[in-house]
Amino acid sequence: MLDTDNFTPQQTQDGSLTFFSQDFNQAFHSHYGAKQESYLKFALPTQVQTVAKKGIVRILDVCYGLGYNTAAALEVIWQENSACIVEIIGLELNPEVPKAAINQNIFHDWDDQYRKILTELAFKHYLQTNRLQAKLLIGDARKSIQEVRKSGFQADAIFLDPFSPPQCPQLWTMEFIRQVVFCLHQDALLATYSCAAAVRTALLSAGLIIGSTTPVGRRTPGTIAVYPQDGEKNITEIYPLSLTETEHLQTRAAIPYRDPELNDNTDVIINRRQEEQQASSLEPTSLWRKRWDSLI
């Protein structure tokens, strides 16, 4: 079943609008601010403005949704370098979401050029101009990511923005994240709003190092990830994990979601992880929480 196009806009605390998904029983954005989240959790931590100075930026937007993350990235890039060429691939299951965002005028206060781009993507799933090549692959991201990978696309920035792990575990599994990481250029950054230990373990096991992005509104941080390297993208120095977060990775919460054939449903993936957690000798997460309760 998929949400139909009867989405009702909801206002978030920064004044921007989002939707609520009946299928996933969750809002598409944090109530602190849809627009704010797209800049502070995705566009800015992945440093797209720095990449823009080179003249070309390639972005993989996993879970395109209403299109906020794509729009924010384009704005940040072209503010830095208006001639920058941008290639974007968006992955989205439900074609009604981007359409509803346009039909409901969610981007009414954005510059006309971004509304036109989002409109083309929502209704035609493709757009080519002299400085933008964008396509939206409609379908289960577990399938479309394989198409992206086979095409050889290497992203300078990846936005990983599914619904939360308990609602949509299939897009946070070790196997899916590994496919996504294959599409990450060697010195590029991947950002997600999630700080779940299971997600962080999946990123680590895909060969990345991780950092903790600044909390935005909500009290929890996001995660930034990159292949191990020295220099300016040494994110363990720029975005260090706190001791609390490091210890969280030693608890049962850090047991990742698994989906060996990339086709299991939510219940199967959740149950598989629960069984693994029950059999685990790792510290129960409740003990960790109790230890840090006064601080987190």
Q: Which residues bind ligand SAM (CB under 6 A)?
A: 28, 38, 63-69, 91-94, 97, 140-141, 161-163, 168, 170-171
Question: In whole angstroms, how close is the CB of 101 to ligand SAM at the nearest point?
Answer: 7
**Residue 189 and residue 154 in contact, taking contact as beta carbons nearer than 8 Å:** no
Least Cβ distance, residue 135 to ligand SAM (angstroms): 14
Q: Which residue is nearest to ligand SAM (CB)?
A: 65
Angle (nearest 5°) at CA 30 between 87 and 258 = 70
Smaller CB separation from ligand SAM, 160 or 226 = 160
The span from the CA of 181 to the CA of 128, in Å, is 26
Identity of the residue, 18 or 47, whose beta carbon is nearer to ligand SAM in the bound complex = 18
For residues 35 and 252, which CB has a smaller minimum distance to ligand SAM in the complex? 35
Smallest distance, ligand SAM to C-beta of residue 289, A = 25
Q: Going by C-beta distance under 8 Å and a sequence separation of 6 or more, which residues neighbour residue 235?
A: 189, 209, 210, 211, 224, 225, 226
Q: CB under 8 Å to 54, separation ≥6 — which residues?
A: none
- Tokens 């950054």 map to which residue? 189
Q: Which of 71, 63, 172 is nearest to 114 (CA)?
A: 71
| Residue among 94 and 251 whose Cβ is closer to ligand SAM | 94
Query: What would the two tokens of residue 124 be?
Result: 């035609």
Residue 54 or 124: the one with the smaller Cβ distance to ligand SAM is 124
Distance CA 47, CA 86 (A): 14
The minimum distance between CB 49 and ligand SAM, in angstroms, equals: 18
- Least distance to ligand SAM from the beta carbon of 194, Å? 10
Rounded Cα gap, residues 158 and 161, in angstroms: 9
Residue 89 or 241 with smaller CB distance to ligand SAM: 89
Minimal distance, residue 148 CB to ligand SAM, in Å: 12
